[in-house]
Amino acid sequence: MALLRFLAPTVAGAIFTLGLSPFDIWIAVPLSAALFVALLHTQTTTSDAVIGWSYGLGLFGSGASWVYVSIHVHGGAAIPLALIMTVLFCAGLALLFALQAYVYGRWFRHGGTWAICVSFPALWVLFEWLRSWLFTGFPWLYAGYAAIDTPLAGWTPVVGVYGASLWLIGFGAAVTALVRAPAKTRIRVAAYICALTILAGGGAFLRQIDWTQPFGGEIKVALYQPNISLDDKWNRRLFGQHLDQFHNAALPLYSQSDIILWPESALPAYRHQVAPFLKEIDRLALARDTTLITGIPVHAETGRHNSIIALGAGSGEHHKQKLVPFGEYVPLERWLRGIIGFFDLPMSSFTPGPRQTPRLTAGELVIAPFICYEIVYPDFVSRHSDVSNLLVTVSNDSWFGASIGPLQHLQMARFRALESGLPLLRGTNNGISAIINRRGEAIAQSEQFVETTLVGTVQPRSGRTPITQFGHWPILVGCLVVLLLPRRIR
């Protein structure tokens, strides 16, 4: 019986992952939330924190265990050690759900139907926001991402991912409230669920609104996906071969493209070490009035940076501000560096870039660039895409192999395009590269683990959506106000 009390919330948490890519069964998210809140209201001997921690373990264990690939395959950790580290990672993240469940049980559960329908989803959203910055943040596996291909997506430019999370979790919680509500309250809960459904359906009408306007004409783009393995990428004996590969791939594209995009850290050397190569690329691109954008490490006065630069008809550079723990820097480096290969990965000594707005240009276009992990931070992207005509993100998802991680990453990039109302180019080393329109639809995308060039057109845009104008603060403040209201409905 004790094992069942632990397994039930763990299974409920694991169901959540089915709502996101690559499964995309959106109803799994509200179902998971419904089971979670039901368990919190039916428990008698198990503490709320234990239920929350078990739920979080199921959620992160099913949805974020792809870190095992980085630790074992690329970090060189033995299978038992990699498994232990993966479990510790997921168990540590699950502590936030333990705290969330404790707070709900301690201060809100006894609010009856109101607590289930309103307080529970409001608290969920605030904890998602907490995850976006606590200990540098891990804004992954947000409930709202399940809405990307539903009518609710029409609300996204207005309420963003947190608003979508509020609806999905609120809908699931309301179903639990309907089942638990006394007869005299049940009709009101049913009406509330109907109102939520109608509200979501309204997204289909909002989908017709153009929050941003075309800027100039369509442009031709080419995204080169080199498919170089991580073992080969940092092999110095293959250095010249890699430069030739990028050079030869770009040659036929200069006359056909307005923008050519190479992935994160495309060139396995610091910028000053490949200065002659970059100079030649700059010359060839400029001669054809083409902008070539590439990720490249940069050793500057401010430190070693994971960066993205524009050459040819474009200009500008951006040093990554949101670094991945252990992948790009090592917390407690003095004690951990050298213990196992995972703590000594190539290019894992980066410094965060200056806190300035990232900008690149391509002719008259203003581009908001984001490197890998940065694209998953909702407010960071909203804040830095305010005057842009196009979003660009480069990544190297090779670290996660054939797991579900790269597919989740693509889904979040699509969501950023939908929130901002701007097209997005996503260039990766081995997939999934994609050309995404302002509605968050991938109009072209590559297969994984193949060398390819993705060619297409995009329409740059200007203007701002409500969420890029005001950010998520109205949603977050609204959730806080709801939690402070002294209301109780049975």
Catalytic residue positions, numbered: 264, 320, 372
Q: Are 319 and 312 in contact (CB under 8 A)?
A: no
Element (H, E) at 305: strand 303-312
Give me the DSSP letters along 206-240.
HTT--SSEE-SS-EEEEEEE----HHHHT-GGGHH
Residues 6+ apart with CB under 8 A from 94: 52, 53, 54, 55, 56, 57, 59, 60
The one-character DSSP state at 270 is: -
The one-character DSSP state at 118 is: I
Query: Rounded CA gap, 53 and 32, in Å?
Result: 14
Q: Are 415 and 128 in contact (CB under 8 A)?
A: no
Query: Rounded CA gap, 57 and 10, in Å?
Result: 6
Q: Kindly list the distances between the CA atom of residue 404 and the CA atoms of 156, 170, 233, 253, 325, in Å, as whole numbers in the listed order.
A: 24, 26, 23, 31, 20
Task: Show the CA angle centred on residue 282, arms to residues 277 and 287, nearest 5°.
Answer: 130
Query: Rounded CA gap, 119 and 484, in Å?
Result: 9
478: number of Cβ within 10 Å: 16
Reading across the β-sheet that carries 259-261, which strands appear in turn?
317-319, 303-312, 291-300, 259-261, 219-225, 452-458
Query: Rounded CA gap, 96 and 107, in Å?
Result: 17
Q: Are 296 and 267 in contact (CB under 8 A)?
A: yes
* H helices present in 18-152, as ranges: 28-42, 48-63, 67-68, 79-107, 113-114, 120-131
